[in-house]
Amino acid sequence: MAAWTSSKVDAGSNQDWQERLTDSLAKSDGWNTSLVPIVEKLSSGTPLDLHDGLVLFRHPNLNEIGRLAHAVRTARFDDRAFFNSNVHVNQTNVCVLACKFCAFRRSKKANDAYALDIEAYLEDLAKYAPHVDEVHSVGGLHPDWGVEHYEALFRATRERFPHITIKALTAVEIKHISLLSNLTFTETLTRLKDAGLGSLPGGGAEILDDGVRAIICNGKESSQEYLDIHRAAHNVGLPTNCTMLFGTIETIEQRLQHMISLRTLGAETKGFQCFVPYPFLPDDTRLPEAQLATGSEILRTIAVSRLMLNSIPHIKAYRMNIGDELAELALQFGADDIDGTVQKESIMHLAGSTTPLDHDRFQLSRLINDAGCIPVQRNTTYERFELYVAPEPKRRKILRVVQE
Ligand code: SF4
């Protein structure tokens, strides 16, 4: 692998991306009339509003939306597509809540309930540790695990695997730990950061609309609490991702308002690094009224995310959820990041994902190359980057041609 660059600014974006975008849009033409005001706003760096988002969602030509999103993505990152070497270790499936879309949670007494103690967690991670530099850990809201448990877990993990960054705990887990330990969000996050937490994943945002939340994830943190927890994380120096679960019962307006809320916080704190939009997967869950997103809708939602979210640098094609084929296409529809090698994952696979789990860097780079992009390995917090150069294929034995 060849060393490429490192940057602490704007998570690896080209510094002059807005100028590049203005230039490239000035040279492009043939936009449908309804898109012209949107192209002008993008060109001048004006954030798109709800009405613009509706135009993008309703526009009949998906490819044109993709072309526009790709122009923005290319201005920021050229053809680079980012990945990392990671593993998902889900520390427990025991959860005091029962979100309607969740196929993962179990009650404490269920036959297949589990809760990894610290040694079991470390043993699990040890199997993958030589090949990864990130552990992604989210889980259920365990009724007995307060801040001391996670402090001990993170300290032990960092001590045994100092090369691994811990990206862990969604907003609702931070809320749950804070309540159990009688701490503010800031106090909890500060203690966990001191114990070794490196960043927060974005899970649990679902749709930031309390009416929708009351139906699909009753009891979870409110929309405002999700934003408050991420703001608190940014303020203590923890970068975070943010997500959107779509294709349940939400309207297009609610999706767009969700994006606008995240964009506003991102502009305020500069702490969101990546937005991860993913569709609801229906297996084994309890949401028969869900709309379910089609492939075209997934690509369109990713493209619209790129166009709406100018304060969040990276848009992820979450291959654990949408599969390798759609993730590859998404790299031409505004996405620039593709989830990593992911040696192990439970939550999406219990909900019906069939995405392979054993991708090595070579396989992932092939997928990225086939999408017309250049694979770049990154660390968890988008500060170190290395251009990934695939090894030469092994020489093949040449078969002799039989002469007649
Ligand atoms: S989504 Fe999270 S909080 Fe909700 S039931 Fe599942 S594990 Fe629990």
Q: Look at the pTM and tell me if it is higher than 0.85.
A: yes
Q: Sheet harboring 197-199: ordered strands across?
A: 86-88, 134-137, 165-168, 197-199
Please state the atom number of ligand 1 nearest to the C-alpha of residue 172.
3
pLDDT digits (tens, 9 = 90+) for 277-287: 999 988 767 78
Cβ-contact 205, 244 below 8 angstroms: yes
In order, the DSSP letters of 315-371 are EEE-HHHHHHHHHHHHTTTT--EE----S---HHHHTT----S---HHHHHHHHHHT
Q: How far separated are the first and last CA of the chain, in Å rounded?
A: 47
Which range has the top average pLDDT, 4-13, 285-294, 304-313, 320-329? Answer: 304-313
Report how far residue 107's alpha carbon sits from residue 95's, in angstroms, rounded to the nearest whole number.
6
Q: Does domain 80-387 have CATH number 3.20.20.70?
A: yes
pLDDT (0 to 100) of residue 354? 64
In order, the DSSP letters of 265-304 are HHHHH--EEEEEEEE---TT-S-TT-----HHHHHHHHHH
pLDDT (0 to 100) of residue 112? 96
Instruction: Pinpoint the alpha helices (H) of 48-170.
Output: 50-58, 62-77, 118-126, 147-160
Cβ-contact 2, 387 below 8 angstroms: yes
pLDDT (0 to 100) of residue 404? 64
Residue nearest to atom 7 of ligand 1 (CA): 140
Q: Which of 184-188, 287-291, 344-348, 365-369 has the lowest mean pLDDT?
A: 344-348
Q: Which residue ranges make up each domain of the chain?
A: 80-387
CA-CA-CA-CA torsion sign (277, 93, 342, 312): positive
pLDDT (0 to 100) of residue 397? 66
Kindly report the average pLDDT of the chain as a whole number: 92
> What would the two tokens of residue 200 be?
């927060």
Distance in Å, CA 197 to ligand 1 centroid: 21
Cβ-contact 31, 39 below 8 angstroms: yes
Distance in Å, CA 308 to ligand 1 centroid: 28
pLDDT digits (tens, 9 = 90+) for 193-206: 999 999 999 999 99
pLDDT (0 to 100) of residue 260? 98
pLDDT digits (tens, 9 = 90+) for 337-362: 997 777 666 666 566 666 655 567 88
Confidence of residue 394 (pLDDT cuts 50, 70, 90): low
Query: For ligand 1, is residue 161 a contact (CB within 6 Å)?
Result: no
Report how far residue 131's alpha carbon sits from residue 120's, in angstroms, rounded to the nearest whole number.
19
Query: For ligand 1, is residue 102 a contact (CB within 6 Å)?
Result: yes
Residue type, 12: G
Burial 1-27 (b: 16+ CB within 10 A, else e): eeebeeeeeebbbbeebbebbeeebee
Q: What percent of the chain has pLDDT over 90?
A: 81
Q: Is the pLDDT of residue 191 over 60?
A: yes
Report how far residue 244's alpha carbon sits from residue 370's, in angstroms, rounded to the nearest whole number.
27
pLDDT (0 to 100) of residue 1? 40
Distance in Å, CA 140 to ligand 1 centroid: 6
Q: Is the pLDDT of residue 292 over 80?
A: yes
Query: For ligand 1, is residue 216 a contact (CB within 6 Å)?
Result: no
Distance in Å, CA 388 to ligand 1 centroid: 36
Query: For ligand 1, is residue 233 a contact (CB within 6 Å)?
Result: no
Residue nearest to atom 2 of ligand 1 (CA): 140
pLDDT (0 to 100) of residue 311? 97
Query: For ligand 1, is residue 172 a contact (CB within 6 Å)?
Result: yes
Report how far residue 233's alpha carbon sits from residue 145's, in angstroms, rounded to the nearest whole number.
20
Q: Which of 25-29, 219-223, 251-255, 399-403 has the lowest mean pLDDT?
A: 399-403
Residue in the block written with tokens 């939400």: 250
Distance in Å, CA 76 to ligand 1 centroid: 34
> What would the two tokens of residue 170 be?
């969604």
Query: For ligand 1, is residue 141 a contact (CB within 6 Å)?
Result: yes
Q: Which of 19-23, 68-72, 99-103, 222-226 has the lowest mean pLDDT?
A: 99-103
pLDDT digits (tens, 9 = 90+) for 226-273: 999 999 999 999 999 999 999 999 999 999 999 999 999 999 999 999
